[in-house]
Structure 1
């Protein structure tokens, strides 16, 4: 194993253990803010459709556009960081996400709703690409643990927003209050982020070296694994309940499948970083990719055991997501390299992922049943395993 180069500190070194606690809390809360405006909106779509008289294709954009934006705007992270610095860029991302969410809750028609969904997607995409850079700079030596915590934060934000969105709307009398509630999180994260900036030492920052680019082949492999994971995850979230209705399940149990899946991903994501420090990042990526393949096969072949296999899938996918966020930290020797590697992986990965619900829906419409669509997800999971094994080999040899 080659030694890493010394870490540069474009954000300033934390002045104390207490300061590091502030910074870690800020990173985790920023992570929690990344999914409510996407995952939490899904259960509210029927109410939004009724209120704004949206067609199904337009309503579908509320789910697909943020995913595409997370990919498209991730590419903006490196130039934004070079111009503003990571800390100011994250402040801008949280302001955009929070303000866009507030404005979206006040819309009166479809054009405004779609335009502000793009604004929200800008904040999500930029912030998601910045977090690994902050972790690399602020937590040298404990990057995997910090990545596990903020990966868990993403899952907690997704699960909580999916659980509370409809109850808030029912209690307040409108879906708009749910979007307002989701928009509070970025502003709280912003306050902690600003407090964390004050907790850092005042020593002048050290410029990050651009360093040598990583081999293109490795970058392509990361894109394939991340895109495959997202394709399966968002495909399952979009269509698994409908598929299981075809398999004879009732509406209640089919809806509970996704709740169990997303809750299961929380402990998986939180534990992945710790396990990576004990077992090794490469070994875990391969093992969890195998678990995902087994789980997706089980969902197709044994629908009667659906709850068992969504638990297995949640454990595998929640872990892979967090571990893949840690890979750029292993490959990047300085913060600027981490930013570029993360932007590449998230950018192309999410752009590819955004097509998953649409493609699977087209397959269902053309063939008249979901079985073939689910088998496509099995094929994608098999591809993920093959490529993940190669990524693991390269990580062990780096």
Structure 2
């Protein structure tokens, strides 16, 4: 274990608080995967009393049948086994009802409304942070630690949120709604190292989850069939409608707008067109899918709702409008985000996360977009 602890010495420093970690209490959010397990090990190595907490998000019968999910049956057992090995307490709290109402139902409703949801952000805003925060405080914790790949750095005005050093693992996009008060209480010890180092620490410490595969991006849709889940939760979602071009001419029919997202090209089943067509927008009230050439996807500006501010926004910045997109130059005027150059595939329901270098300045939900030909 000495080598593993030496590998994690920088990450252990993330737990050092005024007066040192001895005599302090750290609550670790444990999903049952390798990341949160290593966080628990590093917290224990810091000298603080460490408690593992797992939120059960599915009923036991359903959870055991969900390979690739997190906070499920096997995952709870894995989290408990790691805590037993480390000699720390482990608690499981049933949050199935909260997860269903705040994340799963909202996911279905967003698709029905013609938007493209990001359930991982909603989960962080609800069960994983808000609920875990209260649990950690009820347990008398000095901080809450998670296995997210993001960095918490202390600047002149207090804690700041920064990208992880490993760009392939960075999760800052999904944490844009983290508040300043939450950053005061949070610790992210994995943001300063790559994934292979995390697995190496787990292996050297003999943790049984060292080689466990990562969970799915959307844990409650492990087979990737988003439309199937929405149909199950909202039977009305199967209502069909027309596929029309920008002039309103009918080109075909569809079997529910839940099968489409802005920017989609494949699966339109429209033949005989002179150029490739893309989904430009969705009209849930008329059940129409509007398609057009790629040029019609160019967005010049977007209106953001529920803006969360983590730093100064009155300056040139970069904006990331999809989890896998690169940040692009932009400026924020009130709640209106104006792109320096036309941006493609900007979809209502997604998030626009704002950066200055590696620092997260905040972000908001994309409520509506403006065509590049109209935005000024």
The TM-score, its normalising length taken from structure 2, stands at: 0.22
Bigger relative contact order, structure 1 or 2, given CA contacts below 8 A and separation 6+? 1
Q: Per residue, is there more strand in 1 or in 2?
A: 2
TM-score of the pair, normalised by structure 1: 0.21
Larger helix share, 1 or 2: 1
